[in-house]
Amino acid sequence: MRRLTAAVLFAGLMCGAACSAPSPSGPAAASPPAGRSPAPEAAEPSEAAGPEGGRRGDGEAPAEFVALREAVPGVREDIRYAGADNFTGMPVDGYQEPACLLTEDAARALVRAREALAGEGLDLLVYDCYRPRRAVAAFLRWAADLSDTRTREEYYPRVPKTRLFEEGYLAERSGHSRGSTVDLTLVRADSGRPLDMGTPYDFLDPLSAPDSPEVTARQRAARDRLGEVMDAAGFGRARTEWWHFTLREEPFPETYFDFPVALSSLSSPPGALD
């Protein structure tokens, strides 16, 4: 793997830490009417009528998709939606394996980001990548069940569940379903210990905005470094979540896929990038 020139050592971040780009997906979806469940994507036709604005069914992934841990050996993953450690409190539909599937273009961009961090003793930890439409539909069902607040204290203590759409934390369509969006953080390369970003992953709160004034200077510096390296690698950042990035030149900007998150979904055997 050809190493890019490492960024200037991030001394303030590396010493003593606890171990804004607009959303490329556009404005947040409006909140559904109170007491009504938003129409889940799973109810729509499973096959696209055409290439633009299309939906793809639940079969095989396009040849452009790869498994990140196979394509980029050594990358760290903690795929939260494959288990119960997430804001729904349960494994999410469509995540058959704890795997990161991405378009090859996005995977190559993450290689560039990792190379830029290597000289600083930092690396990336990936929480989520491609997300099938059935998983988005599961989020919508969870949001419509106002009686289910078991994870509120941990994940959304200051934002009522009824406002998660209006505040931009949930939407009826997700850029993740296009295959070039990734949720991640910075970790120390030697230990894998995450840097302190001021909130945990998937904390649905204004505190998670990349430019939140409520975080400390050290936490803001960590967020800024993550944003800088991802921007240089070709990603745009969401306005509400410091961990959420979408490849600006994504290969499927109008297509939302629904094949399951599983290595068996790939159309060719997983392997390292050339």
> For residues 117 and 123, is the Cβ–Cβ distance under 8 A?
yes
Tell me the pLDDT tens digit for each residue of 124-170. Answer: 999 999 999 999 999 999 999 999 999 999 999 999 999 999 999 99
Is the pLDDT at 48 greater than 60? The verdict is: no
Whose CA is closest to 225, among 180, 205, 195? 195
Q: What is the pLDDT of residues 178-188, one digit of tens each?
A: 999 999 999 99
Question: Residue 273's pLDDT band (boundaries 50, 70, 90)?
Answer: confident
31, 141 Cβ separation under 8 angstroms: no
Average pLDDT over residues 17-42: 36
Tell me which residues are annotated as active site.
241
* CA-CA-CA-CA torsion sign (22, 23, 27, 29): negative
Q: Is residue 179 left, alpha or beta, with left meaning phi > 0 and alpha meaning psi from -120 to 50?
A: left
Tokens of 157: 């203590």
Residue 244 labelled as part of a binding site: yes
- Rounded CA-CA distance 210/147 in Å is 30
**pLDDT tens-place string over residues 199-256:** 999 999 999 999 999 999 999 999 999 999 999 999 999 999 999 999 999 999 999 9
The answer to whether 267 touches 206, Cβ cutoff 8 Å, is: no
Rounded to 5 degrees, φ, ψ at 238 are: -75, 150
The answer, yes or no, to whether residue 32 has pLDDT greater than 90, is no
Q: According to the model, what pLDDT value does residue 50 have? A: 34
Token pair for 156: 């959304």
Nearest to 129 by CA among 88, 72, 89: 72
Q: What is the pLDDT of residues 86-128, one digit of tens each?
A: 999 999 999 999 999 999 999 999 999 999 999 999 999 999 9
Q: CB 252: neighbour CB atoms within 10 A? A: 19
Confidence of residue 7 (pLDDT cuts 50, 70, 90): very low
Please state, rounded to an integer, the average pLDDT across all residues of the chain: 83
From CA 192, how far away is CA 175, in angstroms rounded?
A: 27
Q: Is 123 annotated as a binding residue?
A: no
- Is 128 annotated among the ligand-binding residues? no
Give the confidence band of 171 by pLDDT, cuts at 50, 70, 90.
very high
